[in-house]
Amino acid sequence: MTQNLSLDTARLDRIQIFPIKSLPAVALAEAAVCSNGALQNDRRWALVDGEGKFVNAKRTAQIHLLAAVFAPDLATVTLSAAGRSAETLALRGDRARLEHYFSEFFGFPIRVVEQPEGGFPDDTEAPGPTLVSTATLEAIGGWFPALSVESLRQRFRANLEFATVEPFWEDRLYGPGGSLVTFRIGQITLAGTNPCQRCVVPTRDPATGEVYPRFTAEFSQHREQTLPAWAEASRFNHYYRLAVNTRGVDCPPLARIRVGDGVVVSSQ
């Protein structure tokens, strides 16, 4: 029997997309959702080398040195970096100047590829938005006093952030392996699939690429020690995991989510 649980303490507080994979975010008050659950224009563009391999933050810390400001309609992006003048370049239409900028910056040929519907997610099995709560980021800030909540937000790069009372509230949104936890936000229904396995990116300063010493080891130790009772422990073959991966279940055309939307979780 299905029971709907309205979690009154959880409200969508932030929405952010990353129009170019691995570059800075754009904050939104509302977002359209693709049929697979991905936020429209999230990771819509990506950088690839001559072999078609991604040039992203997993591959090179140099990418952190790039600042990017996107036009509201995402027609252009203004890029800047130390020692380089800011340039406003086209994302749509002729991208030759944009590719030239990236090629000069990285020192090898770069192409900009585009996927308008669904983008280029890291987890192709769970291409929906990643979820975390502000209380979780605040708790992690207690583990790393030198890092602000905003720095942690930029390091972990979740799409949706919820205002909740409890840290790690989002660990309710996945179950044992092979199962899905479905929940509704605004006009869409998503399924939580798994706690997100993290990569090297959160260990680095978002603006400089400088590595925080022993970040992974310390994070994993604290995560294991504070894993909440509601988290499905069997999903943690290691504890360098944070936020929840999702996929779309019911995302009608033109469906939207908005800051302030509540959450209704369906449990079996």
Predicted pLDDT at 266? 81
Predicted pLDDT at 4? 44
Predicted pLDDT at 93? 86
33 domain residue, yes or no: yes
pLDDT in tens, 9-52: 689 999 999 999 999 999 999 999 998 999 999 999 999 999 99
Predicted pLDDT at 2? 39
141 domain residue, yes or no: yes
Residues 155 and 254 in one domain: yes
Residues 104 and 209 in one domain: no
47 domain residue, yes or no: no
Residues 110 and 134 in one domain: no
Predicted pLDDT at 85? 86
The secondary structure of 92-150 as a DSSP string is SS--HHHHHHHHHHHTS--EEEE-TTT---S-TTS-S--EEEHHHHHHHHHH-TTS-HH
We report the CATH number of the domain holding residue 230 as: 2.40.33.20
54 domain residue, yes or no: no
48 domain residue, yes or no: no
Q: How many domains does the chain have?
A: 2
58 domain residue, yes or no: no
Q: Is 6 exposed, middle or buried (0-12, 13-18, 19+ CB in 10 A)?
A: exposed
Predicted pLDDT at 19? 98
> What is the percentage of the chain residues whose pLDDT exceeds 70?
96
Last residue of a domain, one of 50, 82, 114: 114
Last residue of a domain, one of 114, 140, 172: 114
**Residue ranges of the chain with per-residue pLDDT less than 50:** 1-6, 268
7 domain residue, yes or no: yes
List the domain range (segments joined by +) for residue 125: 3-41+120-267
Residues 236 and 179 in one domain: yes
56 domain residue, yes or no: no
Task: Give the span between the Cα atoms of 158 and 174, in whole angstroms.
Answer: 16
